[in-house]
Amino acid sequence: MIIIDSKSIKNTYLASQKGYDGGKKISGIKLHIGVDILGLPHAMIITTANITDRNGANEMLEICGHELPSVKKALCDGGYTGEPFAFAVKQITGAEVEIAKRSDLHKFEVIPKRWVVERTFAWLENCRRLWKNCERYLLTSLQMTTLAFISLLLNRW
């Protein structure tokens, strides 16, 4: 199982590549990530914030999908609904998409297994350099995120 989600990150004035996420009202970049049930990343990509969750996830799976041959199910939130997205995931990885939806909008409820990806985002928040995008290029931001995960894993061992 892979759990897919994205997070918008604000830019500083240094960034040369940025977009505007209208849903979150953030000008910056967007981190698309696919984690396993332990919260460890298996697929990651950084795009400008104007890229939708579905398009970013498709791009992430096209780049990293060959490294996910044993994935049978992709768990996503409501932002990934739609038959074209499910079909694309099935074509790229062979996995079925399961959408975890909230039952009531006015009541907080932990959605089973969805909290894993949110915890992974919280781990990244502990890295001072990643709470805001200070990098000029998207590739540099991706490498800083990768280094943060390497540091996190080394500190656990």
Give per-residue pLDDT as tens, 66-76. Answer: 888 888 999 99
Q: What is the pLDDT of residue 90?
A: 92
Q: What is the pLDDT of residue 30?
A: 94
The residues near 147 (Cβ < 8 Å, ≥ 6 apart) are: none
- Whole-angstrom CA distances from 5 to 59, 78, 138 are 13, 10, 18
Number of domains in the chain: 1
Q: What is the pLDDT of residue 54?
A: 93
Q: What CATH number should be reported for the domain holding residue 52?
A: 3.30.420.10
Which stretches in the chain have pLDDT values below 50?
none
Range of the domain at 107: 2-156
Q: What is the pLDDT of residue 139?
A: 92
Q: What is the pLDDT of residue 104?
A: 59
Q: Give the predicted TM-score (pTM) of the model.
A: 0.89
